[in-house]
Chains A and B, each alone.
Chain A
Amino acid sequence: MSPGDIVSAVLLPLGAAFCAVGALGVLRFPDLLTRLHAATKPQTIGLVLVLAGVAPQAGSVTAATPLLLVAVFQLITAPVAAQTIGGAAYRAGAVDPGHLVLDETAGD
């Protein structure tokens, strides 16, 4: 077993675990904003870890560089999706005040 295999063996399950926890959060958190936290972010880390785990198996640098591109685009686009959905829910008044301890914008 080469060092690259060990890296893969550690990172792939770790990434999968983060993705699984994110999916579990989507199921179990109570409202839209809290679900959005779970849906967009542990999943991002999970994907980056999976990509890092796949990289040693790619065989060559040229085969591994597109993985880097996937990670970069994931990091750029995930917050855009989260902010768009979160912002729409906030402006539409779809935020459940029962799950907020504090809302500094409530007076507006």
Chain B
Amino acid sequence: MNAALRRTGSRLGMAGWLLAVWLLLWGRIDALTVIGGVIAVVLAYAVSRLPVVPLAARVRPVRLAEAALEFAWDLVASSIVIGWHALRAPRRIQGAIIEVDARSRSEIILLAVTTSISLRPGTLLVDLDWDRSILRIHAMPVRSPREAGAARDGVLGTERRLMRALVTPDDTRPEER
């Protein structure tokens, strides 16, 4: 897929999403809302020059559903852990700042990884080195270097799941194409 085609695809995807938001806000689908929505999207693009959003070349739906389910589970489980610490011994909580070498060089994967680690209680992205794909993450509760390693494994596991779910041109090795 060449760059121009990808850019057009990304624009169309974004336009589709904006149109969907418009229709959801109206709460009904008829000729008037659709035409009005198309006009609103075109105007929004003309005025704001929305940036090109990175897209995945291919999505594996089952893997994506797996990743989403594991994410939901992580979200609930670690919320309970953080809540427990907030109730029991908040003053003694310890954290760590860890560096994680991301394997992916794809923007969309890193975007999904950082969003999901920052959404989940217990890990928070504090810095990102784009050139070397290094994520600096604050993790808590972490009481020992071993637990810091577990937090790192969790982040890498999230990345692995997302890389399985979303196939991107940046990460595909030539023999896999």
Contact = CB atoms under 8 A, between A and B. Distances in A.
A79 B127 contact: no
A25 interface: yes
Given A78-B119, A87-B126, A28 B142 contact: no
Contacts of B8: none
A104 B86 contact: no
Interface stretch (B37-45, B89-97, B165-173): B89-97
Interface residues of A, number: 44
A28 B86 contact: yes
B148 to A, nearest CB: 5
B27 A42 contact: no
Interface stretch (B48-56, B57-65, B74-82, B153-161): B74-82
Given A41-B119, A102-B148, A33 B82 contact: no
B99 to A, nearest CB: 5
B82 A102 contact: no
Interface of B: 21, 24-25, 27-28, 75-76, 79, 82-83, 85-87, 90-91, 93-99, 114-115, 118-122, 124-127, 136, 138, 140, 142-145, 148
A13 interface: no
Contacts of B91: 28, 30
Contacts of B118: 40, 78-79, 82-83, 86
Nearest to B138: A33
A22 B140 CA distance: 15
A63 B27 CA distance: 7
Interface of A: 18, 21-22, 24-25, 28-30, 33-34, 36-38, 40-42, 44-45, 62-63, 65-66, 68-69, 75-76, 78-79, 82-83, 86-87, 89-91, 95, 99-106
A37 B119 contact: no
B99 A68 contact: no
B90 A30 contact: yes
Given A18-B83, A79-B114, A101 B75 contact: no
B114 A101 contact: no
7 contacts: A22-B83, A29-B90, A41-B121, A42-B82, A86-B118, A90-B127, A100-B95
Nearest to B145: A102
Contacts of B119: 41, 44, 75, 78-79
Contacts of B127: 87, 90-91, 105
Interface core residue of A68, A99, A101 (most chain B CB under 10 Å): A101
B121 A62 contact: no
